[in-house]
Amino acid sequence: MQTTPARNTHPTSSVLPIALIAVTAAFTFTWLALGLINDGYRFYDIVIENYSPVSQPISGLGLGKTAAGMNTAFVIYGSIAIAGAFGISRNLAHIEPRTRQAALWTLGLHGLGAVLVGVFTLEEMTMHSFGFLLVLTPIIGFAIVGRRLRPNDKWRRLGFLLTRVATPVGLLLVGAFFVTFNPEAAGSGEGFAGLSQRALIIFVQAWIVAIAWTTRRGGDLAENGRSHDSPAVRAS
């Protein structure tokens, strides 16, 4: 008789995280490309003559001639991010249930926030801002998930990086964005709020991609690790 770790063979366990990785790359390419062709937009009664990726946020691409493309990208990315959160949660089968739920909620809220940002543009500021805050929820979730991954030999490094790097650096980037963001300066093409926001979004998404990639084969979690899995018995 030979014992092997239980494997998570459900197809969504690998498909959804990989889809999340792919849509993140496509989303980044979209705002990079649209930032090159946006020649300004109207914000209420204010006319922004030139769009600057350096000073203006990604959301500015949701107005003007790039509105349809950018807002569609937000909604598609957010929808697949929500689905990806379910796939990642499924792949954390050997982690304590409340931690899996925390991962599901924080990553799922990230996707929901992106959908809201796409549906409610800058001209619907309250809901748009609420969506943006939801996009940032994984920064706290990184610490929760990372703490539970650290006891496992296979995922110890990822857990350590999530708790000691992703969350503290993410919080610093959040602070940097809010310090540099000034609506009037952004509208005038001044300041660096566009760069600070892009750095923040790329940082958050990069760590989500790292989690999705590392956990895409959740059934292997317990292999050579100290976890709570129940081994499946296979006849040799």
Tell me: the pLDDT tens digits for 23-71? 999 999 999 999 999 888 887 777 888 888 999 999 999 998 999 999 9
Residue 81 counted as domain residue:
yes
Residue 1 counted as domain residue:
no
Per-residue pLDDT, 41: 84
User: pTM score, two decimals?
Assistant: 0.84
Per-residue pLDDT, 206: 96
Quick check: 221 pLDDT over 70?
no
Residue 23 counted as domain residue:
yes
Q: Which is nearest to 189 in space by CA: 91, 84, 21, 55?
A: 55
d(CA 70, CA 140): 27
Quick check: 158 pLDDT over 80?
yes
d(CA 192, CA 166): 22
**What mean pLDDT do residues 65-93 have?**
92
Does 83 or 47 have the greater pLDDT score?
A: 83
CB 31 within 8 A of CB 61: yes
**What mean pLDDT do residues 2-7 have?**
44
Quick check: 154 pLDDT over 50?
yes
d(CA 56, CA 182): 9
Which residue range(s) make up the domain with 100? 11-227
For residue range 97-127, what is the model confidence (pLDDT) as tens digits? Answer: 777 787 888 899 999 999 999 999 999 999 9
User: At a CB cut-off of 8 Å and minimum separation 6, what does 213 contact?
Assistant: 17, 21
Residue 60 counted as domain residue:
yes
Per-residue pLDDT, 190: 84
Residue 190 counted as domain residue:
yes
Quick check: 229 pLDDT over 90?
no
Residue 232 counted as domain residue:
no
- Give the model's confidence band at 13: pLDDT under 50 very low, under 70 low, under 90 confident, else very high: low
Number of separate domains in the chain? 1
User: At a CB cut-off of 8 Å and minimum separation 6, what does 190 contact?
Assistant: 55
**What mean pLDDT do residues 172-188 have?**
88
CB 139 within 8 A of CB 204: yes
CB 128 within 8 A of CB 59: yes
Per-residue pLDDT, 217: 64
Per-residue pLDDT, 227: 40
Share of the chain above pLDDT 90, in %: 52
Per-residue pLDDT, 148: 76
Per-residue pLDDT, 126: 95
**What mean pLDDT do residues 130-135 have?**
97
Does 221 or 184 have the greater pLDDT score?
A: 184
- The mean predicted confidence, pLDDT, of the chain is 83
Please state which of the ranges 11-15, 38-42, 148-152, 212-216 shows the lowest mean pLDDT: 11-15
Residue 177 counted as domain residue:
yes
Does 14 or 36 have the greater pLDDT score?
A: 36
Residue 234 counted as domain residue:
no
